């Protein structure tokens, strides 16, 4: 095992932790924040959403640095015929663009979240219980519309990502998920 391959488990663990946190943070955003009035009842879900969002930002940054500076997974063509080297589906042809966009959009989501929180003074309100009321509507901050719109873009990217994984793993019967697991390849 070369020195750099030691980092693979970290790269894999951070992928799944990031995926889990993105699903939870997204769910809280849609179910407990987006269509609810800005009352005090929103402070706890907002605190959890913001804290998880900040952790996601750190993970995306750490994973990106790890990916470009230290650990590069083996190229897909090198694994043929274990994995279809030719991308047969249009959806799969998008993968080389979708992977970097997943990093970018996830990071941007968190940054736009911070760009809502700062002018709205949310950090003292939700983390230090300063007692200040929430603004009547977050849409007075331009970053709110961006945060909502990019969440749809991120959702589409995740749908492509998951469909491609399901296609390779279950329809083509390849060990695609093994590419993001603790095995050697
Ligand atoms: C929901 C948030 C998710 C994000 C942000 C995300 C992000 C990424 C990124 C950026 C890559 C590119 C490789 C890298 O640079 O690390 C990747 C690879 C991969 N992801 Fe995800 N992922 C998510 C969820 C999932 C889910 C739910 C699955 C399983 C169904 C999955 C399965 C994979 C696999 C198998 C690879 C390796 C693909 C290859 O090497 O061609 N991911 N993911
Ligand atoms: C990658 C991380 C994040 C994801 C996936 C995410 C996702 C979401 C989603 C899906 C919504 C509802 C959007 C809508 O339907 O229009 C939302 C709302 C919101 N998010 Fe995030 N978010 C993230 C990070 C953050 C961060 C780091 C903060 C603040 C520090 C934040 C603050 C907010 C606020 C203030 C709202 C508006 C709630 C409202 O209008 O009542 N988010 N987020």
Report the C-alpha dihedral over residues 62, 63, 68, 69, rounded to 10 degrees: 50
- Please write the tens of the pLDDT for every residue from 118-136: 999 999 999 998 889 999 9
Structural domain boundaries of the chain?
4-73+84-180
Q: Which residues contact 111 (CB under 8 A, 6 or more apart)?
A: 57
Q: Which ligand is nearest to the CA of 27?
A: 2
CA 137 to ligand 2 centroid distance, Å: 13
CA 96 to ligand 2 center in whole angstroms: 27
Structure tokens at 119: 């002018």
CA 65 to chain centre: 15
Task: Give the pLDDT confidence score for residue 86 in this predicted structure.
Answer: 64
For atom 40 of ligand 1, the residue with the nearest CA is 179
Q: Which of 163, 159, 179, 160 is nearest to 171 (CA)?
A: 163
The rounded mean pLDDT for the chain is 92
């Amino acid at each position: 095992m070369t020195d750099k391959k030691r980092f693979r488990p970290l790269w894999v663990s951070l992928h799944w932790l990031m995926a889990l946190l993105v699903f939870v943070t997204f769910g809280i955003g849609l179910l407990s924040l987006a269509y609810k009035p800005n009352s005090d009842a929103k402070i706890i879900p907002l605190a959890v959403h913001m804290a998880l969002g900040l952790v996601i930002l750190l993970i995306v940054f750490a994973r990106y640095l790890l990916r470009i500076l230290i650990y590069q997974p083996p190229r897909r063509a090198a694994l043929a015929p274990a994995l279809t080297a030719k991308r047969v589906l249009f959806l799969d042809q998008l993968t080389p663009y979708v992977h970097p966009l997943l990093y970018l959009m996830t990071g941007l989501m968190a940054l736009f979240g911070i760009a809502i929180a700062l002018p709205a003074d949310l950090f003292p309100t939700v983390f230090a219980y300063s007692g200040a009321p929430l603004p009547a509507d977050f849409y007075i901050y331009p970053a709110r519309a961006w945060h909502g719109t990019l969440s749809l873009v991120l959702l589409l990217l995740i749908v492509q990502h998951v469909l491609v994984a399901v296609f390779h793993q279950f329809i083509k019967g390849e060990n695609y998920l093994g590419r993001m697991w603790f095995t050697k390849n």
